[in-house]
Structure formats: C-alpha cells, structure tokens
Amino acid sequence: MKDDRPLERALARVLSPRLGHAPSRWPETLYLHVRERAQRAGLGEAEYVERAGQAGEAASLAMLLDAATIGHTAAYRHPEQFERLGRVLADLAPRRPGPLRLWCAGCSTGEEAYSAAACAEAAGVDAAVLGTDVNPVAIAVARSGLLPQRRSVGAPLPAPWVERVPEALRRRVRFEVASLTDAQPALGAGPFDVILCRNVLLYFERDQVPRLLGRLAAELVPGGHIVLSPAEGILPLPPELRRGPAPGWLQRPEGDAVEPASPRAQAEEGPASTGAGAAAREPGAEAAARLLGAGRADEAEQVLAALLNADPEHLEGWFLLGEALLARGERAQARAAFQRVLRCSAAGARHVDAGALRRAAARRAEALRDPR
Ligand SMILES: C[S@@+](CC[C@H](N)C(=O)[O-])C[C@H]1O[C@@H](n2cnc3c(N)ncnc32)[C@H](O)[C@@H]1O
C-alpha cells in the first residue's frame, strides 16, 4: 500500500521517474540525508525534496539519488561470471571487426566495468567498455579511478588495481550518467556484444523486467550476451532472449527471427511472465532477492528461512537460500539448498521457470560437490 505522508509523496514524485522504481520503504540513508539537509536549509523535509527536484538543483538531486540507491559492488563480483566472460570474449573477438563493445548498465562506482576491461585484457581481446548509472555521485567516483580495493573471494584474475586504476585500463572504459528508463539508456553507443546488468533489475517490479530486458536486447548484436547476477536468472524474460548456459546468463539468438517462447516454457514460467501482480504474490522471494543483490546475504537468509518455514516446497526460496549461503561462504549448506531445489515438486514454482531453476540448481550443486 502506498504511503501517503508528504515526505513519501515528495520522494516518489522526485526520485521514481528518474529511477523507474519506487520501493515501499526507501533506504535509511535517504531519510537521514533528507533530515540533515532540510534542517540545514531551514525547510520541511518534503519541501526540501521537492526543491531538489527543481531545475537548477542538479547537485542536490545527485545527492538524493546517491542516498536513495544501493551501490554495493566489488571487483570481480560473482567471480564465476568473469571466468565465463573471459572465455566468451576470446570466442567472440575473431568473429567481430574492431574492438568488442561492452556495456555495464547500473555500474555503480565502476568496479564491474573496470573488471570487465581487465578480463578482456587478460584474454588478449581489444574491448571498449561503457559504464552507466543513474547515480551521478557513483559515476564521478568511477571516473576518478580512485577505488579502494574491494575484491570478491575466488576472483579469477589478479587484482586489476590497488588504490588507483591503471591508466591503460581507464582508457578502455567510459562512464556516463544514464538511467535504464531514459529514451536512450545506452546513449547511442551500441550495438554491444555483451551487456552486464547485474544486481540492478532486482530493484524493479517483476512485471517491469521483460520490458527493460527487451530494451537491453535491442542494444545487442545478434548472438550477443546479457549477464544478470546469478540470483536474477529467475526473472521473467522477453521473447527476444533465451536463457544461456549459466544462471543469469542470457543470449539473443543469432538471426533476425524472434521465436515466440514455447508453450511449455510459458506454462513453466506461469503468471509471472505475463506480468501484473507477480511481485505482490511473492513478497518473500522478491525481498530476499533484493537483499542478496545489495550484498545483505545474512538478512536475505532470515527472510528465506521464514518463507521456507511457511512453504517448504518453495522452489525459488530454496534456490535463493543456496545463493545466500554461497555468498556467506557456506558451501556445504549451499549445496544442500541447491539439492533441495531438485527435490521440490514443480507445483512449488508458480511464478518462475521451474526447468531453468532446476538446471541452474543442478549445475551449482555439482560445482559445490567438494565443499571447501
Ligand atoms: C547493487 S548496485 C550493482 C552494481 C554492479 N552492477 C554490481 O553488480 O556490482 C545497483 C546499481 O544500480 C543502479 N541503478 C538503480 N536504478 C537504476 C536505473 N534506473 N538506471 C541505471 N542504474 C540504476 C544504482 O544506482 C546502483 O549503482
């Protein structure tokens, strides 16, 4: 239910058109930021927010967006995806004239874009990377190349930088402020061979996702790849895209003809693929996926424990629990959760692609066979 207090109304009016999403509760950092700034300016909180949304207040709006978004990121986040990215780039490069083009949509402070450039370099591939984010403060940090080293455990390559991104890497990456909701979210820089859009779509309503992914797909070359985070691999897809070989990995088929999704896949995907109201039906899974995307695996685990307690056959819940445990380094428990997905009945997957989820869970359980 929408909150009708003046501050909530002002936040929704000023921020939601830019972000494309309106959470039921904004991050605590945003409320603290608004309180402090409004006091300093001698304004009411809602009045401060409305003013920040007016023309000529770009700096105040940028700071509001910074406080309203969750920019958690790290170099080589989801390391197994960077391993695969290196192989995919090496495979694509001989078949494309000129440098490969990559786009990190929702790149936060740039770690993902610089990691992608480092990955291309290690694969001996010429690549140009565009990083975009709706948060102008994050983009300013990304452009500065001054990044404290936060690196994912298990990263496939040596750290690409320590405190300052090397000049050679910086030359391969360009950063711009843009929202996924803009008329030209990729600023006319496409078409791209690979688009990374990881831990971003989690913040949107489930029924917005196919349209957003359709817009990303329109920026891809035929045969190009879109990479979501592994936990986002269960989101509903538009007809232009197919699920790829790993969780979160999507592909636009070669050739212009777009096949409609098979009736079986549609049946498996259930009502979520047609949109309306899916998020409202799965609030636990939705909230857990969002927490996971924000790097809050402990909290995600708590939400999932409650969800699975109430519904022990919740296929998506077990898969997300596997992801949360993996994020916390609990490999043996994560494997058990992925194996549990395989034992759930398909009736437990009312709003997701049960087949894709099972295949992803089987692969993950297999990869975790020797828990370290
Ligand atoms: C959790 S971070 C993910 C960063 C990086 N992709 C990763 O996986 O490490 C989510 C990012 O999405 C950005 N974001 C949220 N809504 C957006 C929108 N409508 N357009 C572009 N970026 C958006 C946020 O500003 C934030 O930097």
228 with 112, same domain?
yes
238 with 285, same domain?
no
Residue 1 covered by a domain: no
Distance between CA atoms of 315 and 343, rounded to whole angstroms?
Answer: 9
Strands 220-227 and 249-251, by their bridges, are: antiparallel
Residue 271 covered by a domain: no
pLDDT 10s digit of each residue in the chain, 372 long?
556 699 999 999 999 999 998 887 899 999 999 999 999 999 999 999 999 999 888 999 999 999 999 999 999 999 999 999 999 999 999 998 889 999 999 999 999 999 999 999 999 999 999 999 999 999 999 999 998 877 777 788 888 888 899 999 999 999 999 999 999 999 999 899 999 999 999 999 888 999 999 999 999 999 999 999 988 988 889 999 999 888 899 999 987 544 333 333 333 333 232 222 333 336 788 788 878 877 788 888 888 888 887 788 888 888 889 988 888 778 888 888 888 888 887 765 655 667 777 877 887 888 787 644
200 with 228, same domain?
yes
Our mutation pick for probing the ligand 1 site, out of 30, 134, 141, counting the most ligand atoms within 8 A of Cβ, is: 134
| DSSP character at residue 219 | T
Q: Write down which residue in 68, 95, 119 finishes a domain.
A: 68
**Residue 57 CB partners (closer than 8 Å, separation 6+):** 51
Residue with tokens 């096949």: 259
245 with 191, same domain?
yes
243 with 142, same domain?
yes
162 with 90, same domain?
yes
Distance between CA atoms of 36 and 28, rounded to whole angstroms?
Answer: 13
Q: Report the amino acid identity of residue 19.
A: L
Residue 322 covered by a domain: yes
160 with 247, same domain?
yes
16 with 105, same domain?
no
Strands 173-177 and 220-227, by their bridges, are: unpaired
147 with 252, same domain?
yes
28 with 133, same domain?
no
Ligand 1 atom at shortest distance from the alpha carbon of 294: 1
Question: Domain range holding 111?
Answer: 79-263
Distance between CA atoms of 156 and 139, rounded to whole angstroms?
Answer: 25
Residue 34 covered by a domain: yes
Residue 179 covered by a domain: yes
Residue 372 covered by a domain: no
Sign of the Cα torsion 301, 307, 311, 315 reads: negative
| Cα-to-centroid distance, 233 and ligand 1 (Å) | 17
Our mutation pick for probing the ligand 1 site, out of 108, 150, 209, counting the most ligand atoms within 8 A of Cβ, is: 108
**Residue 152 CB partners (closer than 8 Å, separation 6+):** 74, 75, 76, 77, 78, 79
Residue 28 covered by a domain: yes
**CATH value at residue 307:** 1.25.40.10
Q: How many domains does the chain have?
A: 3
177 with 230, same domain?
yes
Q: Whose CA is nearest to atom 11 of ligand 1?
A: 106
Residue 1: HSE in the Cβ half-sphere, 13 Å Cα cutoff: 3
On the 0-12 / 13-18 / 19+ scale of CB atoms within 10 A, 351 is buried
Buried b (16+ CB within 10 A) or exposed e, 30-51: bbebbeebbeeeeeebbebbbb
| Cα-to-centroid distance, 70 and ligand 1 (Å) | 7
Distance between CA atoms of 210 and 272, rounded to whole angstroms?
Answer: 10
Sign of the Cα torsion 358, 361, 365, 367 reads: positive
| Cα-to-centroid distance, 184 and ligand 1 (Å) | 17
